[in-house]
Amino acid sequence: MFWRFNLAGALFSVLELGGSWLYNRYSTSRHDDWLLTTPWSQEPGRISDASLNEYQSQLQAITQVPKLTVSIEEFDGWWKSRMEGPKSVDFELNLPSIGLQSLVSPFGGRPPHKLSLACYQVRSNTGPGPREFWYPATSQIDRQLDLEGEAPMILGFPRPEPVGEGDWRHHDTIMAIRIEALDSSGNYQPFEHHIRFSRSGGEGVYTPSDMALLGEPAAWLEIDPLLLT
């Protein structure tokens, strides 16, 4: 009997290691993908012929992307946390490429940047039909934003309440961030980022990922800096 448990444990370890290898192999971050294109890459076939300035610009664009920090406070009892979720979940949206003042219009001019946010909620479907249902949920962050840092800009917001039907544990939230930068020609160039996270937790730092937005488009909420001060 003992050797059976050892064999099962060994098989589980092999599967776990294999799963970790596959995850690490195929779930690379944007920084990892950039590193693979540089002369220091361990995959020669992916090295690009970009100049040093181009490499630096690409790296700066990656390091300046928005980040979402999730902090969790659990209930004392395991069962209560299991049934009700965390006691509290705090969200901080860090925007390293802009500050509060860059959203303010100078006298007789236009602001260097514009910031707009939109929100979706995604419910997993365990039954027949689509795997996920998407709901516009920008109203969940409207008038809920707190200014927690001016330079770089940091916005805090409470845990979004679930919309639609279904168990709250099956809901994810997608934060859409649009940063518009005023160029030398006087036109705004938009840059969009999307961060997916769970309203029930998953403590850590979340970064943007490429995704296809489904369902009805969510309304954009343009951030007025005067309402944050």
Q: In this predicted structure, what is the pLDDT of residue 132?
A: 84
Mean pLDDT score across all residues of the chain: 76
Give 3-state DSSP helix, strand, coil % of the chain, rounded to 5.
Answer: 30, 30, 40
Q: In this predicted structure, what is the pLDDT of residue 13?
A: 39
pLDDT band at 3 (very low <50, low <70, confident <90, very high): very low
pLDDT band at 128 (very low <50, low <70, confident <90, very high): confident
Place of tokens 């279904």: 166
183's tokens: 């160029």
Place of tokens 């946390």: 81
- The answer on pLDDT for 175 being more than 90 is yes
CA atoms of 147 and 34, how far apart (whole Å): 32
More confident residue, 42 or 7: 42
- The answer on pLDDT for 8 being more than 70 is no
Contacts of 225 (CB under 8 A, 6+ apart): 100, 101, 103, 104, 111
Q: In this predicted structure, what is the pLDDT of residue 155?
A: 95
Q: Which of 44, 63, 38 is nearest to 152 (CA)?
A: 63
Q: What is the pLDDT of residues 14-26, one digit of tens each?
A: 433 333 333 344 3
183: helix, strand or coil: coil
Measured CA distances, 32 to 59, 79, 161 (Å): 11, 39, 34
Residue 197 CA, chain-centre distance (Å), reads: 6
E strand or H helix that includes residue 84: helix 78-84
Q: Three-state SS string across 108-149, please?
A: CCCCCEEEEEEEEEEEECCCCCCCEEEEECHHHCCCCCEEEE
39: helix, strand or coil: coil
CA atoms of 34 and 112, how far apart (whole Å): 28
Other beta carbons within 10 angstroms of residue 108's beta carbon come to 5
Q: What is the pLDDT of residues 134-151, one digit of tens each?
A: 899 998 888 889 999 998
Q: What is the pLDDT of residues 98-124, one digit of tens each?
A: 999 999 998 878 999 999 999 999 887
- The answer on pLDDT for 11 being more than 90 is no
Q: What is the pLDDT of residues 29-41, one digit of tens each?
A: 566 776 677 776 6
Q: In this predicted structure, what is the pLDDT of residue 203?
A: 80
Beta bridge partners of 173: 121, 197
Q: Which of 184, 181, 204, 4 is nearest to 90 (CA)?
A: 204
- The answer on pLDDT for 50 being more than 60 is yes
Mean pLDDT of 83-99: 82
Place of tokens 């004392």: 76
CA atoms of 26 and 91, how far apart (whole Å): 28
